[in-house]
Amino acid sequence: MHSLGCATVARKLAHFVPGVLPDEAFLAGVFHDVGKLIFYDLVSEDYTPIANEHSRSALLDAEFGTFGITHEELGIECGEDWGLSLAVNYSIGFHHSIEEAPDFGDLVALTSLADAQARRWGLGQQATADLDDELCGLGLDLVEESSFSITEEQLETICSESLENFEEVRDICSN
């Protein structure tokens, strides 16, 4: 659910970032944490405590220390095997370390921002019934840290449209 939330926010953010295609941003959002899904599928008993006990910033170190690979590295390998575009692969592989991305920095940064905003707004994190537009006031600090010129009003629009679109996407994926 979080990946769908991230994808929904990424698509909306892309409308405000020149040169980033909304469909490519959506795809990057859907796949950004695919490495985590692989870990959960293959080594769930070992991975679940790591994912639950470590903050977002400490997770990569914990993954590497346990498995010798991070969810970003595993995800980019999968993306390459599946024939995803280089831009989407870089978004998968560098969404926690934007400054290390060798190219496609805007899409990588947008994916990272969408990931953080989806978490902050609760998209995919809690029951949709609990989501409301009051959450949309949160997150301008994250945008200000990014290189994007998105106003508070635009961010509120992105949030309210993302909340609405998330339900649509979730319903489509649930059928």
Domain ranges of the chain: 2-174
Q: Which residues of the chain have pLDDT under 70?
A: 126-142, 144-145
Q: State residue 137's pLDDT score.
A: 57
- Within 8 A by CB and 6+ apart from 61, the residues are 54
Give residue 126's pLDDT: 53
Predicted pLDDT at 141 = 67
Question: Quick one: 143 exposed, middle or buried, by C-beta within 10 A (0-12, 13-18, 19+)?
Answer: buried
How confident is the model at residue 131, as a pLDDT?
A: 46
Write the CA distances from 103 to 24, 86, 109, 111, integer angstroms: 15, 9, 11, 14
Taking only the tens place, the pLDDT of each residue in 76-114 is: 999 999 999 999 999 999 998 888 988 888 999 999 999
What is the dotted CATH code of the domain comprising 2-174? 1.10.3210.10
